[in-house]
C-alpha cells in the first residue's frame, strides 16, 4: 500500500504545474505534436519538451511518431475526468469564498 501512496503522490506532484495541466487539457480530445503545443501554450520548444518529458516519465502521455514529428496523447483518457473533478471542486470553493465575502 505504501508504494501505491508514493506513486499517487508522484502523479499529483507532476500535475501540480499549471503548464502541464494546460498541456493535458490540450490533449483532451486530440493528439498534438510539439510545434502545436508551443503555439498553443506560448512557451519555448525546450520548455514544452521538458514538461512533456516529465509527463512521459510518469506515464501520463504516450508518443507516436508520424513522419518526422512525434505526437503526444494522453496515455489514460481517465486523467481528464480526474482533472475535471478537481476543477469542479475548485469552482465550488471559489463560489463559497465569494459568498463569504458578500
- Give this prediction's pTM: 0.88
What is the pLDDT at residue 85?
A: 94
Mean pLDDT by 10 residues, the chain (102 residues): 93 95 96 97 96 97 93 95 93 83 69
- What is the CATH number for 89? 1.10.10.10
Domain encompassing residue 50: 2-101
Helix (H) or strand (E) holding 65: strand 61-66
Strand partners, 61: 74
What's the structural domain count of the chain?
1
Amino acid at each position: 500500500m505504501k508504494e501505491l501512496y508514493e506513486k499517487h503522490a508522484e502523479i499529483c506532484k507532476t500535475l501540480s504545474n499549471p503548464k502541464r495541466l494546460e498541456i493535458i487539457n490540450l490533449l483532451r480530445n486530440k493528439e498534438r505534436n510539439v510545434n502545436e503545443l508551443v503555439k498553443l501554450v506560448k512557451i519555448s520548444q525546450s520548455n514544452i519538451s521538458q514538461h512533456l518529458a516529465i509527463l512521459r516519465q510518469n506515464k501520463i502521455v504516450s508518443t507516436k511518431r508520424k513522419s518526422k514529428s512525434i505526437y503526444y496523447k494522453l496515455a489514460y483518457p481517465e486523467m481528464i475526468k480526474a482533472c475535471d473533478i478537481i476543477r469542479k471542486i475548485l469552482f465550488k470553493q471559489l463560489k463559497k469564498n465569494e459568498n463569504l465575502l458578500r
